[in-house]
Copies of this chain bind each other. A is one copy, B any other.
């Protein structure tokens, strides 16, 4: 497979040269780049030091600590012990810190204006569309699918969306049953996967054993992400896991209203079968031979 990277590389070159100095917008604020980024992330809503570090891509803990000390001494942030876990420290902007943050915002805004203002309204719309598309696809490409414990906060959040959506779309709400913790979705006979972008779950799915064969459960894709090929990617992942767990066949159930999902299953090689369980909300049943 040959993939042409020239368009992307050309774009990177020229865009980074012109704008990539998003970084530069942090300069001139009197704060070094790293420190300004930290201040900015705090203003964006980082609560704990941990949170901050993960948002910034795993910076050294000592390094971050030192920068926080700098910001504290300048009077931009205050730090307090987290009441729910005494090891953690909560970070917050002071009034002066908020001012600094606004200043960074303003600079960033100015920078964007410098580029957008010379364009006609039609060109601006085209540029917005192009950037939004590129953003979505680049995000989609950098999504990672990871196995997590179904009790993990990420998994819980994903299932929360999943059930909320079902409740929303079908006029019923789900109680604790099936949400909190379902051991069948955990090893050794099950597995739960979450696809995350920027630390937020955007899709989830699980495999478990049911009646001697593999079964796919909890398939959910964030509405904003549908049509980006994420569902199929996750499905392939789940099938591979089912195979690893020793199944040659997987089954799943779904509902007639979920037409996109049904189309996806069919494209992925699933065939309609008769009802195999007593799920009252399911209307369609599928199976696929693996390997």
Chain B residues near A123: list those with CB within 8 A.
137, 140-141, 228-229
Q: How far is the CA of A134 from the CA of B138 in the complex (A)?
A: 14
B128→A8 contact, CB < 8 A = yes
CA distance A113 to B7 in the complex (A): 12
Quote the shortest CB–CB distance from A97 to chain B (angstroms).
20
Chain B residue at smallest Cβ distance from A44 = B13
Task: A206 to B127: give the CA distance in the assembly, Å.
Answer: 30
Q: Which residues of B contact A134 (CB under 8 A)?
A: 11, 15, 127, 130-131, 134
Q: Which residues, 207 to 243 on A, are CB-close (under 8 Å) to B?
A: 228-229, 233
- Neighbour of A57 across the interface among B17, B119, B139, B141, CB < 8 A: B17
A137 engages B112 (CB within 8 Å) = no
Q: Interface SS of chain A: helix, strand, loop or mixed?
A: helix
Residue of B nearest to A57 (CB): B17
A3 to chain B, nearest CB (A): 5
Count A interface residues, CB 8 Å: 53
* A115 surroundings in chain B (CB, below 8 A): 8, 138, 141-142
- CB closest chain-B residue, reference A21: B57
A3 near B117: Cβ-Cβ < 8 Å:
yes
Cα–Cα distance between A4 and B221 once the two chains are bound (Å): 29
Interface residues of A in 149-197 (CB under 8 A from B): none
Interface of chain A residues 113 through 137 with chain B (CB within 8 A): 113, 115-120, 123-124, 126-135, 137
Cα(A143)–Cα(B14), bound, Å: 12
Q: Does A244 contact B (CB under 8 A)?
A: no
Measured in the bound complex, the distance between the Cα atoms of B127 and A138 in whole Å is 8
A54 within 8 A of B: no
Does A19 sit within 8 A of B, measured CB to CB? yes
> CB of A16 within 8 A of chain B?
yes
Structural contact, A124 and B3, CB atoms closer than 8 A: yes
A246 at the interface (CB under 8 A from B): no
Is B137 a contact of A5 with CB atoms below 8 Å?
Answer: no
Contact (A8, B130) CB under 8 Å given A16-B22, A20-B20, A57-B17:
no
19 interchain pairs, CB-CB under 8 A: A5-B116, A7-B132, A8-B112, A8-B128, A10-B135, A12-B112, A13-B22, A14-B138, A16-B20, A20-B20, A117-B141, A118-B233, A123-B137, A126-B137, A127-B133, A129-B130, A130-B131, A130-B137, A134-B134
